[in-house]
Structure 1
């Protein structure tokens, strides 16, 4: 047996942060998610807007990676990326995604599942203008998800820096923009003792939104 085989079964944390009740939820899923995001930020959780984005290709093979949420309102949850990336190819093909915020320090997580759509070019441009210049240059230089050498990537960045050296406002790359997850379900999970965790889920159907409790 390896050391990992011995240690992993013994890794266990008792969740004692407190219950999550239906009466404590906000009226809408996006208000509740905004509240938990704000509380994660106030608690000093690193990268509180980091979420694990899960997609699948047309054959059903899943992929997951961490991205940063950059928009939240009644329409959905937005993040930005390269439209030629693996995640974008998956989203273009299936039009569906799931994203989980793992606030482990708060013994919480929230999961958004639903269909996806590209955000408008105007909305992408508005967020692009807020990005640091280095991030803008990186978006131009990186052929995201393609096999590259470190040298070729560094050379691409140098070339882009030269290209835009005299440009004050770097334009949005044609291959870059936002995706919005339009939720069908949004689940809020709060850890409780003895693994009897609270799972409250906003569900959208023909009558609008409702909240249901799910067994842990």
Structure 2
């Protein structure tokens, strides 16, 4: 009999060993010290002077120029073939760490950028969002975010009952909601590094971090970022207009036109005043971390003629099984 680990907590008080902590927040080697000029760009575009039609249907001349252009499709030629012998034999986390630390990846390219995809239950509607992963440990990929909106994915991850607001009018907190064990446990992460023609796809289970773990990273953030987190009620509509009432172009170009930004800036001022005498700004109830514990990890490397190399590692997710199993 297989028993799932309680979704509401992390792996006990013993934190897993970190392989990467807060990439992007800690300065890496200067790009000038890297041989970035030797890196071929993976983005090849059509020439800028191709004639464009005035309609949505391209002209026959344009079609001919596109078809005859030798660089119409990018060719992947940077790396030698990827073989099993080049991959870590057992641990995809260590393999990811090796690729992430590739000296050909300039820190300025923000290789920690990834896409997090989740789905709502029971509808199954999927949403995806670009963000930064901040930690890689021996259990998975850790992401911190404001979860207080649909775009923040709070309800998808923590359950439909989760709600919280920066001004306190809507009470609640992710760490309390995580204990209810609702929401969708499954998520997917995708990393794409065009400069080295590589991609990593992760599918696995979401594990909310404890409040203690979230606070540990929260304390490393700059004060301005902490203020911004409190001030930003993520995805709250601050200005809207119907097609009938949409302002004319001249009004939109007016430097004094308010598209809702003034309200956000006022919220920042209010947060600054609120915490003016507070040395350590507290963790917002809607802000914290999750860990994506992998079930599968796919390593993809581009190859000429679209004959790409893909290797997928299925992870046992031992942490999610009871130590003693028996047949029922």
* TM-score interval (norm. to shorter): 0.7 to 0.9
Which residue in the other structure is 2:199 paired with? Answer: 109
* Within-5 A mapping of 1:136-155: 136-148=226-238, 149-155=260-266
Which residue in the other structure is 1:14 paired with? Answer: 75
Which residue in the other structure is 1:89 paired with? Answer: 155
Deviation at 1:126, TM superposition (A): 0.6
Which residue in the other structure is 1:214 paired with? Answer: none
Distance 1:4 1:167 in 2: 60
Asked if the contact 1:53–1:100 (Cα under 8 Å) also holds between the matched residues in 2, the reply is yes
Q: 2:268 aligns with which of 144, 157, 161?
A: 157
Deviation at 1:91, TM superposition (A): 1.8
Asked if the contact 2:293–2:317 (Cα under 8 Å) also holds between the matched residues in 1, the reply is no
Question: TM-score normalised to the size of structure 2?
Answer: 0.59
Distance 2:143 2:103 in 1: 18
Greater strand share, 1 or 2? 1
Give unpaired runs (5+ residues) of structure 1. 209-216
Greater helix share, 1 or 2? 1
Distance 2:265 2:311 in 1: 46
Give unpaired runs (5+ residues) of structure 2. 1-52, 159-182, 239-259, 320-328
Asked if the contact 2:189–2:201 (Cα under 8 Å) also holds between the matched residues in 1, the reply is yes
Alignment pair present for 1:181 and 2:292? yes
Asked if the contact 1:40–1:106 (Cα under 8 Å) also holds between the matched residues in 2, the reply is no
Q: Which moved more, 1:199-208 or 1:120-129?
A: 199-208
Which residue in the other structure is 1:57 paired with? Answer: 120
Alignment pair present for 1:46 and 2:157? no
Relative to structure 1, is the Cα distance of residues 90 and 206 closer, same or farther in structure 2, using a 3 angstrom cutoff? closer
Q: 1:33 aligns with which of 79, 96, 100?
A: 96
Which residue in the other structure is 1:211 paired with? Answer: none
Distance 1:49 1:108 in 2: 13
Relative to structure 1, is the Cα distance of residues 14 and 95 closer, same or farther in structure 2, using a 3 angstrom cutoff? same
Asked if the contact 1:186–1:202 (Cα under 8 Å) also holds between the matched residues in 2, the reply is yes
The structure whose Rg is larger is 2
For 1:146-171, what per-residue CA distance to the aligned partner results, in whole angstroms no more than 9, with x for missing partners? 22222211111110011112222111
Task: Indicate the SS of the match to 2:128.
Answer: strand
Distance 1:62 1:4 in 2: 31
Relative to structure 1, is the Cα distance of residues 195 and 138 closer, same or farther in structure 2, using a 3 angstrom cutoff? same
CA RMSD of aligned residues (A): 2.4
Deviation at 1:145, TM superposition (A): 2.4
Runs of 4+ in 1 over 3 A off after TM superposition: 1-11, 40-45, 205-208
Relative to structure 1, is the Cα distance of residues 115 and 154 closer, same or farther in structure 2, using a 3 angstrom cutoff? same
Asked if the contact 1:116–1:180 (Cα under 8 Å) also holds between the matched residues in 2, the reply is yes
Distance 1:125 1:41 in 2: 33
Distance 1:184 1:205 in 2: 7
